A and B are shown apart, each in its own frame.
Chain A
Amino acid sequence: MTQHSLDAVTDHQAELTSPDCRQLFMGFFILGLTGFGGVLPMARHMLVEKRRWLSAEQFAELLGLCQFLPGGNIINLSVALGMEFRGLRGALSALMGLILAPTICVVLLGLVYARYQNDPLVEHLFAGLAAAAGGLLLSTGIKMLAPLWGKWLQLALVVVGVIAIAGLRIPMLPVMLVLAPISIFICARSKA
């Protein structure tokens, strides 16, 4: 899907619009400001339904790419979308728009944290927040585990990964270099 093909689609379907750099920046700026705890559902709403920059199929295809590649899905999505519409400048506009407001927000929160870190009340508040964040992560992990139920080889790989990373604290790179090929091999075999 090149910029050219997107333009062609835009010509055929009058309801799709093609944003310029400023619109890319503003669109992702608002997305960055309003998306709490996961931007993805909001992103689909904005890109497909509200602003009509992409059809549902185009969105699914771009998201597929972004999920396949390393990096945050939404970060990759902003870069890919900006590039599709306006080239490198578009990619930069979308990415900057997406992370500008959240960066300012975390710095402000960080200032509060640094200022009141040693206040016992605030300390307990942040301990509670961190406990909740840990719980949220655990629940995400458990939800991701559920579809693997019954696939014992793959579950064994998960267990090995958790022992290596969380238990033994082995660096990520060697763990990935060993586990990823084994895991892909098992996946290829189980399908064949």
Chain B
Amino acid sequence: MSAVLVSLALLFTQLSVLAFGGGNTILPEMQREVVQVHHWMSAEEFSALFALAQAAPGPNMMIVPLVGWQVAGWAGLLVSSLAKFGPSSIITLIALGGWKRYKDRPWRQIVQRGLVPVTVGLVVSSGLLIAKATASDLSMAGVVALCTLLALSKRLHPLWVLAVGAIFGLALG
């Protein structure tokens, strides 16, 4: 039990400081560790938990406490949340004082723009991995494609896209 908690703490601490460009960038690594390295759940279960977290209100990283809770109950939830939200928050607190001084420096803007291709690659990877785990057959792959197109073409609220997916999932199942 405590070994699992240590693993959760190490995993989410690392993800916390690597999450440049927002939460979705760390999904591939989270999935790799949770599914492939630790075998805590299957890729399908991970995708379902991610979808659950998307259906809930709040910041888009609520899959973190959910994974912790699923793996090790309330202790897992607490450890995962602390490890994920703690380190990045401490970095924010430290950086806050100096921000005025360096926000207009050229290096700051170059670093930020330079990280964009890496961030984009990570988000595209997230989408591919979550989609791959769900698109078990041709009809589910069709649902993924339909939802992608819906989200791209219309200014639909994400909840509506989730609802469309759920309805098709039920109808095709």
Contacts and interface: CB of A to CB of B under 8 A. Distances in A.
Interface of A: 1-2, 32-39, 61, 64-76, 79-80, 83-84, 88, 91, 95, 98-99, 101-103, 105-107, 109-110, 113-114, 120-121, 123-145, 148, 154-155, 157-162, 165-166, 169, 171-173, 176, 179-180, 183-188, 191
Contact of A131 (B26, B99, B124, B168): B168
A110 B69 contact: yes
B144 A131 contact: yes
Contact of B120 (A74, A132, A144, A186): A144
Contacts of B85: 71, 75, 95, 99
Contact of B58 (A71, A102, A131, A162): A102
Interface string B38-70: 000000100111111111111111110110011
A167 to B, nearest CB: 8
Nearest to B53: A106
Interface string B130-152: 11111110001001111111111
Interface of B: 14-24, 26-29, 32, 36, 44, 47-63, 65-66, 69-70, 77, 81, 85, 88-89, 91-93, 95-97, 99-100, 103, 108, 110-136, 140, 143-152, 157-159, 161-170, 172-173
Contacts, number: 369
Given A124-B169, A172-B29, A191-B110, A131 B152 contact: no
Contact of B165 (A135, A139, A171): A135
Given A133-B162, A145-B124, A1 B100 contact: yes
